[in-house]
Structures are given as C-alpha cells and as structure tokens.
Amino acid sequence: MIYRFLTNRLPDASARRLVMITGARQTGKTTLARAVYPNLRYISLDEVEARLQLRQLPTRAWANTVGAAVLDEAQKEPAIFEKVKFAYDQGEIDFSVLLGSSQITMLKKVRETLAGRVFIYELWPLLLSELTGGSAPQPPLFERLLALPGTADEILTQEPAILLGEEANHQAEWLKYALAWGSMPGLLPLNQADRHDWLRSYTNTYLERDLADLARLDDLLPFRRFLQLAALRSGQLLSYADLARDTAVSPTTARNYLHYLTLSYQAFLLQPWFGNQTKRLVKSPKLYWTDVGLYRQQTGNWGEVNGPLWETFVVGECYKWIKTMRPDTNIWFYRTHGGLEVDVLLESEHGMWGIEIKASRQASRGQTRSLRRLGKQMGGQWRGGLLVYQGEQIVKLGENIWAVPVGRLFG
C-alpha cells in the first residue's frame, strides 16, 4: 500500500463536509477514498443496477437509505447530486465523498447543485516521493523549500551533499522506474510486457470512456493524431495554429481537443509569469504531458532520457506536488522577448524560486546564467535558483544558486 500525500489534506469523516476527489482515470481515487474512509458505505455508480436504484430512491429517503457514503463515478447518475444536496442542507447527513474522473461533468454538477458546499481535491499520478517512500513517505526537499523561510544558501547548506549505500540505491532505482514507465499506480505490479499493454489499453479506454463524457466525436482518428502531436510538443510553447495545421483540423477544433486533454488530466498548460496583472512577458503557455509513461506511449520514445522527456518529468513533479499539497503556490515559466528564459518560476509565501532543467549528468556555473540574471531582476523577492540535473551531488554554483539532483529534490 503506497501512502498518498493527499491523505494529509482530506478532512476527517467527523467533519461537516462534502468532499469531491477528481483526477485522471486509474490514479487511485477509489483506493484512496476507501483507505481514508473505511467506515463509510461504498457505492459504485459504474454498476447499472446501483444507478437505477439510486435514481428511483425518493429524495427524502436518501439519508436513511444511503447516509454518509463514498459515491464512485458520481457523474454517471446526475440525479444523486440533488439528493445529496437536500440531505446535507437538511442536516440529515454531515459527510459524503464524491469520486469521478470526468472533471467537466463533475464540476458542472457541482456548480449547478453543490456550489459552496463541496471541497474539491485532485489526485494526480504518483509523486516520486510516494514511489520512493512506499507506506511511510517523508515530504521531499521540494516541500521544505516552499514551506520554510530563508534563502537557498541557508536551506541547502544543511543538506548532505550525496546519499550513500542502500538509501542511494533505493532512490536511484525508483527514479529509473519513474523515468521509464511514469507513475500510474496500475503499472507497479506488472512486468515489462504487460506495462506496454497497460499503457496502450489506457489510451483506448480514455478515448472510449472519458472522451465520450466530454464530447461526441464522430471520428476519433483526428483526435488520435492530435494526441500524438500534442505529446511530441511537450515542453514547447503552445501554438494552436501549428497544431491545427499538422493535425489537419481547424484552430477551433484544436482548441477544443486541447481543452479535453486538460480537463481529463492528460496534459496541463504552464502559464508564463507576468510582472504585473495586465501584461505578460510572453503570452503563449507551454504544453506539458502529465505522465511520462503515457508521454512515451504517445510519442513512441522508449529510448534513453532526452531533454524533452527530462523537462516533462521535472515540470510534472513540480506541478503535481503544488496541485496536491501547495495550491496557494504559483507556478509559471519565465521568458522574455529578449531571450531570457527560466524553465520554472515558483512563488510561495516567502518569495520566488527559479528552476533550470538540464538533462546533463554534470553541473557547471555556465548553465546558471539565466538564473543569475533572473535573480537580479527579482531583487528582494528572490530566494534562489536551482539547476535540476541527472547527477548525484548537491553542489553550490554561486550565491544562492545550487545544482540539485532530481531524486534529491522530489524523492
């Protein structure tokens, strides 16, 4: 049983609260909810019989018949939202959990029926720290950098330069696994051949089920091609015109397709940082695939880790941790029309961090030029810059500029 950090944020069943847990298919929502709330009745709306029974159940009978419960694939039966709302507003139930992988349908029903009553949580594919920590993971260095005050020099000077022995081997093995297969929980017990089959089947299931909830597409072939071309652009500035041209669809259709991808958690958009609330330095966002395994499946890249895959992995770990544990932290990239670019810019309550991502195994001061320039521009907000690379040693490269191995940052 792998412990999920989202557990730390989920409310106790004794609270007066309606909880919605959403996320991509097969990220472990059901497993998490049943582990956190073992004493609640579990009902899967995937079962046709359950949908029919709850559809026919009188609203006033909900509390006595169902009560506090975990309602899985809740979007499959829209009638239950009104019944849960009635029972909750009448004080007949104080707690229930709604699960679903179809974000657009779930959120539409929440906005229409449960607005102001439900707390929404997102469960993403496994974090590297969850893989390396197993049943008792510790928060990674990344969390300490966001949570603690102080500069990079003040915090990182306290960290051991390298890991030794079994700890180092354990971390290296899980990092190798995550870079090869991604972090979907269903892959963990499978052998290599079955993992390939699982990833292929996931894509087909996504097309047949999740996409059917989002849109009515008469022809899936253009969307399949769009999936592949969008994955190949992971880490690049988004151009709807280029995607539309290469996929042979209209720009409007390309926008809709990408909207489906983000709503179903297959991809996300990283927005550019803006110095004030009215003007961005660069207007176009960057597109990233959420999971490295699904990225490899779409692109056919099963070889060594290259720059795009490495950047997809590192930005994905940043994004997943923030969405899971630090929703008050802002994450951007930084790019000016003059050519200054930093891969990730983080704003926490204590100030700004910059992250440069390099696939090299050696770190040098020359690789930190953009971080140093950015630090000068940020002034008093600047806490420090990190060069995230494939090496093994935490090393200082300048004032508040450090090279940090990816396993040490997120493991």
Residue 277, number of CB atoms within 10 A of its CB? 6
Give residue-wise pLDDT tens across range 167-205. Answer: 999 999 999 999 999 999 999 999 999 999 999 999 888
* DSSP code of residue 189: T
Give residue-wise pLDDT tens across range 213-266. Answer: 666 666 778 888 999 999 999 999 999 999 999 999 999 999 999 988 998 899
Considering only 73-77, 129-133, 349-353, which range has the smallest mean pLDDT? 73-77
Give residue-wise pLDDT tens across range 9-23. Answer: 999 999 999 999 999
Q: Which domains does the chain have, with CATH numbers?
A: 5-122 (3.40.50.300), 128-410 (no CATH)
Q: pLDDT averaged over the chain?
A: 92
Better pLDDT: 356 or 106: 356
Which residues partner with 395 through β-bridges? 403
Q: What is the pLDDT of residue 279?
A: 47
Give residue-wise pLDDT tens across range 266-277. Answer: 999 999 998 754
Q: What is the pLDDT of residue 105?
A: 65
Q: Look up the pTM and report it.
A: 0.94
User: In Å, how far are 192, 205, 212, 248, 375 from 51, measured between CA atoms?
Assistant: 37, 21, 18, 40, 56
**For the residues 21-37, what does the mean pLDDT come to?**
95
Q: What is the pLDDT of residue 343?
A: 98
Q: Show the DSSP H helices in 126-283 as ranges.
A: 128-133, 141-147, 152-156, 165-181, 192-205, 211-214, 221-232, 240-247, 251-263
At residue 335, the 3 state secondary structure works out as strand
Give residue-wise pLDDT tens across range 358-409. Answer: 999 999 999 999 999 999 999 999 999 999 999 999 999 999 999 999 999 9
